[in-house]
Structure formats: C-alpha cells, structure tokens
Structure 1
Amino acid sequence: MEACQTLNSDTINELKHYRLTPLRLLRGLACLVVYLSTAFMFLVYFSPVAAVFFRLFSVHYSRKASSFLFGLWLALWPFLFEKINGTKVIFSGETVPAKERVLIIANHRTEVDWMYIWDLALRKGCLGCIKYVFKSSLLKLPVFGWGFHVFEFISVERKWEVDETIMRKMLSTFTNPLDPLWLAVFPEGTDFTEQKCVKSQQFAAENGLPILKNVLLPKTRGFHACVEILRGSLDAVYDLTIAYKNRCPTFMDNVFGVEPAEVHIHVRRISLDDIPVSESECSTWLLNRFHLKDQLLSDFVSQGHFPNEGTEGDLSTFKCLVNCLLVLAITCLFAYLAFFSSVWFKVYIFLSSVYLSFATPFGFHPTPILEYVKSLVSGKKSS
C-alpha cells in the first residue's frame, strides 16, 4: 500500500507561510466583522423580496435576483484572498468560457476548498449562481446558514439512503437551462487527511480498486444523480484539481491571511457527451478521473506546479474596490435605517429574521402562486 501524501511544506519549501502579526490579526478581525455584518444586512433586507416575494410569481426571476445580490456580497472574499491577504491564485489547464451552466467536481484537500472556487467563478461572471452539495450541519452556522438556505445549497447527511430523495428533489428544481447554475460537488465526501487516506486505501485494496495517495476514493452515486438529472440542461462539467503552498489552510487562516501562500487550481472542461449514461459506467468514469487527479497531484508534489499555468489573469483591483465600496454603502444605509429611521424597519428586520430562522432548518421555499393553483386544480380533477 502506498503512503499518503500531504502536499504541505514538508514536500514543498519554495515559500514560507506568513506570520500572524498584530496587523494581520486586527485586519482579519475587522474583515470578519465586515463580512458578517454585510451578510446579515443583505439577507434580512433582500431575502423577503428576492427569495420570497419574487418567488411567488417566478422561480426563474427570483433566482436571477438572488444570484445578482449574492454575487455582489460573495465578491468580497476573492478580494480578501487575492488583494488584501496577497494569496496567489494560479490557474492552469484549460481556459473555460464565461457564463456557462456547469456541474463542478473537485478534490477536497481542506475545509476551505469550496471558497477558492469563487475566484474562478468571479472571473467567469458566474459568482452569484454557485451552489454546493454540502453537509447539513453547516446550516446551523449563524447568519451563513441562512444564506446557504436562501441560495438553495443542497444539504446532505452523507448517507445515500437518506440523501437520495432530498438530492433528487432539489436537483429536479435546477433543470431550467435559463436559471444561472454552477453546482459544485466534492465526490470524496469529506476533506483529505492521512488517516482517511489510509482507510480509503485499505478499502481499495480489499475491493481491487486503484490505490490513491493524494485523494480519497470518490463516492459515485451522488455524482451520477447530478449528471442524470441535469444532463440536458448543462453546458459542461468542470473538473477542478486544487493544491496549496505551503500548507492546507483553515477558515481562520484565510481570514487572517497566514495561509496559503499560493492556491493552484487546474481546470479541465468535459463535455456531457464524454460521461457515460449508465450508473456503473459513470461510476467507473469518475473513479478514473480521480485516478488521473491523483497522478496530477503527485506531479505537483515533485514539480511544484500544474502543467499549462497562467490560463486566467489577475482580478481587477479597481473593480474589486468598487464592488466592496458598493456593498459597504448598502450595508451602512441599511444599518442607518435599522437604528435611526422608522420603527417599521425594525419590525421588518425582526420578521425577516424570524422567517429565516424557521425556513432554514425545514428547507422551506415558497411555491409560485400559479404552480400552487395548478396543483390544486389538478388535484380536484383527479379526485
């Protein structure tokens, strides 16, 4: 059995991670306060309009409005990573078109891999339409859990017998090709550690599967469900391979800017025609992709980079600043209305918070009035 590889500073020593100086500590805390306050204000003010009122008349326009607003706020994070923290995000592989409707598969090195997909989505004009299949416990996060619900992330328990019905029901609502969508899936199901890698290798050895050193064996049923249901409405599948210098970061490393020094993202665009239809063949295809991904990461360890680097340019500092100032201005206006204006704004915020607190754990999204009426009419006819 081959040893697992960590892709950290023990194997790559070109750069040293940044020290947590008092300036970085204060800057990180300030950014965290700003991000939490802007997220809260955007959610409590905009959710009743974009995700409730609009949805009563059109799911499509509700999602368009939510996508636009979500994209405004979410752009603060690549700004933090690349401009404030100075993390280099280096893209390689293929250059993908802008504004496609796609399914994304990626390896799961650490708890924040999903955040760096935002850097690619921002460059492609699709930041606000990104959604994730993620563990349901994250819905309990304060404020952010509300956002995961409003923007229709798919929460799972990581038990297929429990998750299949939920996933298929949610995926069936994403089949409109006019709706914006970047749906990201991490087929490994959990982040990579040496202990998990050993267990994965043992399972592979017992079942005649490839022994992987840098990734875990992928769970295939969720991926197949995504491809099966969305195949007719997607433009492509993006296969992303993510690696870090020097060490894999945590969420707080990202906030304070102490790790990573570099994020390397290798992109491959795959046509839906290249992915088999049957579940068994689709599972084999995904396993082969992760086998290739494992080799790509091994090459990264030895060479320090992925092949064909430089496929994406740097973010515009000016555009990032304008977006940041716009979000801050909107947040300041909302804060002023909440604290110094009519009492009705306080009532609005209270009712919005109550709605989000109850709708999030129950996964409630309003049904459009027209659809509701049609279901009532069809129900009466059938009876």
Structure 2
Amino acid sequence: MAGQVHWLHAFCFVFLCVLTSMLGIFVVYLPALPLLAVSNKLFDNWNEMMMGTWFHMVAVRSNCGPNMIRATYRLFCIGRDDLVTVSYRVSLVSCCICLFLVLELVYRMKVVVTGDRIPWNEGCVIVMNHRTQMDWVLLWNLLARFGDIRCCKIILKNSLKQIPGAGWAMQQAMFLFLSRKWESDSRHFNSVLNYFIETDKPVQILLFPEGTDFCEETKVSSDKFAKQRDLPTYHYVLHPRTRGFFELVKTLRYGNIKSVVDLTVGYPVNIPSGFRSFVIGNFPEQAHFNIKRYLIEDFPKDDESLQEWCRQRWSEKEDILRVFYDRGQFDQPQVKFVRSETQMLRKMLFCLILWVAIVVGSLFLLYVSSWWRWVCILGSAIYVGFTVFGGVEKTIIDAHNRRHSSSA
C-alpha cells in the first residue's frame, strides 16, 4: 500500500539521515566557523546553502507519486521498468543511492496544496498545527516548491540542540531553541530575532503554537487547560500557546517580514502516531496543506489582540479539519507549484549525490586517516562546548554585535 515501506528500508533511511547530519558537521560546518572572524554574511550564506541541500536530500523520499515517476521518465528518457532495473543495478555500486531512489518509488506520498500561494522567498511567520512529530520534515517538500528552502528557520524545544550532529547543525543554521519558560527564553529569543532584522534576512520562521504534537496524552492536557479557562474542547487540534506568536509578530513586523502564513496540515489516509511510525515505514500516503496568507500591516498592534487572532485561527482550524477528515480534502482550490516536479527531481538528485559523496568520503577518511579521526574528536568537543555555553547561535550573534559596535 502507498505510504507503507518495509521497516528495514525505512530504518536504514533514518539511519542515513542521522549519518549525514553527524558527518556533515565535520566536513561542512566545522570548517566554516573561521568565517565568523571575516563576515557574518559569508558565514550565514554558506550555512544556509548547505542546510538547504540537506533539506532537499531528505525531501527526495517523501513526494513520489506517479507524477514524480513520469518526471523521472522525462529526465532520463527511460521507461518505468528500466528505471527499476537501473536502480537495483546501482545498488551494487552504492547502497546509499539505491536506498533513496527505491524509497522515492515506494513511499509514494502525495503532497496537495490548497488555498493561497506562499510568495517566492518572502519573509514570513508560518504558524501550523502540529499533528505528528515529523510535520516539519514534510513542510520542507512544500517550501522547496514555493521558494528557497534555505530561508526556513524552525522554533524547537531546547533539548533538541543537544543532539550530536543534527542539533549542532541547527544551532549553526540559527534555528530558535526554547525551554518553554518565557522568563529564561525572552532574552535569547529577542536577540535572535534582532539579528534577523539587522542582517536583513528574509527568513521564514516556522512556529507550532501548540508547543507539542497532537496525541492522546497531549489532548488530555489541552482539554484540562480548556476546562480551567472555560474554552471549547478541541478534537483535531490542541489549544495554542499564544505568547511566542505575538512576540514573533510584534518584533519582526518592523523588519522584513511581509506576512503571516496560516498553514493547516491534514493526513486523510494514515496518520503516523510518532517518530517510531516513520522508522518502521508507516509514512503518510498523502499530506494536505491548506494555506491562508495575511499581510503583516493588517495585524493589530496590541498584545491581547494578537493573541486573540491566534486563538481564532485555531478555532477555525478545528472546524476546517473536522470537514477535512469527513471529506478527505480541504474545501479550497489546489495551488500550482512554482517549481515543476522535473526541476525538483534534478535538484533533489544533485543534493543526494552531494551528501552521499560527503558521507562516503568522510567514512573513508575515518578508516584510513588518524588525523581525520582527531578532527572529528576535536570538532565534537568544540560543539559540545558551544552547546554548554549557550550554543553556536549565541557565538554568531556575539560576533555580529562586536563587528557592528566597532563600525559604529
């Protein structure tokens, strides 16, 4: 069935994603750290370019319906049967490349977008319901087709920055990590946002106002919260935490943020229960995104009105998703992607080959070179030190502030 893949293939894919993030730190991100002494702009551009290629590599396996197969046919001028044969022959040379191409044909997840269009590379705040633990991964497929995926920044739990490899890379890519206690988060949160404003970066910041993914346990907590405050009980979303949203809009509206994108995601066929579902091969057969875009100048100025705006959108999401799961689709016209599937496939394959080369080269050096093993050990120690003392993002902001103050 579409959406299902053998658990061993899925596990190997997740393992390879972890491997590329871990080894990529030493090949791609560690050598870029000296650029901080030269230019924050060069440093940021390099990090965002390489993070973008990794996003595209991960996205190669998750939007692969019949249209992608036809795009592959046009790209390589071979039939479907020949493509499968070629894939299995390539597996004898590189199991990594074969794995990704097989997953491209097996997962068969269809992405459907309805409503408004996200303008190309426009700075915006994206608010989205958090139905599964992996919603943010599926969002990359959407953003890659509407603009430059390098602009995407995600607000995550603070504990995720401590993950070796992936957590260190997300620090260097200026993701925002919060401990969910505003008293301790506010200073760091505002310093990152001010950095985006001062460097004139057209960022697309993804926020999950619910704070966690929807599951039985979190729904109980949300229902308890609603009962204490005499609010309606939701069945398809959790009640949002509005503090982070209004702080984002209040600060960034004076920068280069042009809009707020209200994104509603639904999975009409199978809904993975958590990260384990992805590892064992239970991938969504379809992912539907409904987009509503609001211009930033139309937003209220006072804090309470901003928070109420967010609460109203979540009330609307509850109604929209109720209809969605009855009908299996959103009641809005579909949106045409900016990039064609052939263009996306070419870019995905380039990024795939790039990261496979990085992994193969790094593993080879680990095997034959003692100095490279020392580079990895010392690099790990450096990133652990960064994490203990506030993260790479704090060092990036400090370097920018010193350069800015010395030139003033």
TM-score normalised over the length of structure 1? 0.85
SS in structure 2 of the partner of residue 234 of structure 1: coil
The alignment partner of 1:98 has SS state of coil
Distance in 1 (CA, whole Å) between partners of 2:11 and 2:400 is 46
2:266 aligned residue: 243
- Find out whether 1:66 has 2:70 as its counterpart: no
Q: Secondary structure at the residue paired with 1:131?
A: strand
Alignment counterpart, residue 23 of structure 2, candidates 26, 41, 49 = 41
After superposing the two structures, state which structure 1 stretch, 174-183 or 285-294, moved more: 174-183
**Alpha-carbon separation, structure 1, partners of 2:292 and 2:116:** 5
Deviation digits for residues 309-368 of structure 1 (CA, Å, limit 9, x no counterpart)? 431446333332232112212332333344335x44333333222111221243233356
- 8 Å CA contact 1:60–1:178 kept in 2: the answer is no
| 1:173 corresponding residue in structure 2 | 195
Question: Which aligned pairs between 1:198-237 and structure 2 lie closer than 5 A?
Answer: 198-232=220-254, 233-237=256-260
What secondary structure, in the 3-state scheme, does the structure 1 residue paired with 2:174 have? coil
User: Secondary structure at 2:267's aligned position in 1?
Assistant: strand
Whether contact under 8 Å (2:63, 2:108) holds in the other structure is yes
CA contact (8 A) 1:338 1:346 kept: yes
Output one character per residue of 1:244-276: Cα deviation in whole Å (capped at 9) or x when no partner: 133322324334442311111111111101221
CA distance in 2, matches of 1:179, 1:99: 10
1:261 is the counterpart of 2:285? yes
Q: Measure the CA separation in 2 of the matches of 1:372 and 1:259.
A: 46
Instruction: Name the residue aligned to 1:285.
Output: 309
Pick from 300, 323, 330 the counterpart of residue 299 of structure 1. 323
Query: Does residue 144 in structure 1 map to residue 144 in structure 2?
Result: no
Partner of 2:154: 132
Q: Are the counterparts in 1 of residues 265 and 289 from structure 2 also a CA contact under 8 Å?
A: yes
How much has 1:210 moved relative to structure 2?
4.2
Which residues of 2 match residues 23-172 of structure 1 at below 5 A? Answer: 24-50=6-32, 52-83=33-64, 84=104, 85-172=107-194
**Amino acid paired to 1:298:** R
268-277 or 153-162: which moved more?
Answer: 153-162
Match of 1:13 in 2: none
Corresponding residue of 2:352: 324
The one-letter amino acid of 1:200's match is S
- Structure 1 residue 369: deviation in Å? 5.7
In the TM superposition, residue 186 of structure 1 has moved relative to its aligned partner by: 0.5
Q: What TM-score comes out, normalization by structure 2 length?
A: 0.80
User: What residue is the counterpart of 2:92 in the other structure?
Assistant: none
Tell me which residue corresponds to 1:381.
none
The answer to which of 367-376 and 253-262 deviates more is: 367-376
1:137 to partner: Cα distance: 1.9
Q: Contact 1:149 / 1:363 at 8 angstroms: preserved in 2?
A: no
8 Å Cα contact 1:164/1:222 also seen in 2: no
Question: Matches of 1:270 and 1:190 in 2, distance apart?
Answer: 24
CA contact (8 A) 1:244 1:263 kept: yes
Q: What is the aligned-residue RMSD (CA, Å)?
A: 2.5
Cα shift readout 1:145-181 (whole Å, capped 9, x = no counterpart): 2222222222112222332233222222221363242
Quick one: percent identity of the two aligned structures?
27
2:382 corresponds in structure 1 to 355
Q: Compared with structure 1, are the counterparts of its residues 373 and 133 closer, same or farther at alpha carbon in structure 2 (3 Å cutoff)? A: closer
Unaligned runs of 5+ residues in structure 2 are 65-103
Question: Where do 5+ consecutive residues of structure 1 fail to align?
Answer: 1-15, 379-383
Distance 1:373 1:142 in 2: 30
Q: Distance in 1 between matches of 2:133 and 2:356?
A: 27
Secondary structure of the residue aligned to 2:201 is coil
Contact 1:107 1:187 in 2 (8 A): yes
Once the two structures are superposed, the pairs formed by residues 308-323 of structure 1 within 5 Å of their partners are 308-313=332-337, 315-316=341-342, 317-323=345-351
Alpha-carbon distance in 2 for matches of 1:370, 1:278 = 31
Partner Cα separation in structure 1 for residue 38 and residue 269 of structure 2? 49
Aligned to 1:158, what secondary structure does the other structure show? coil
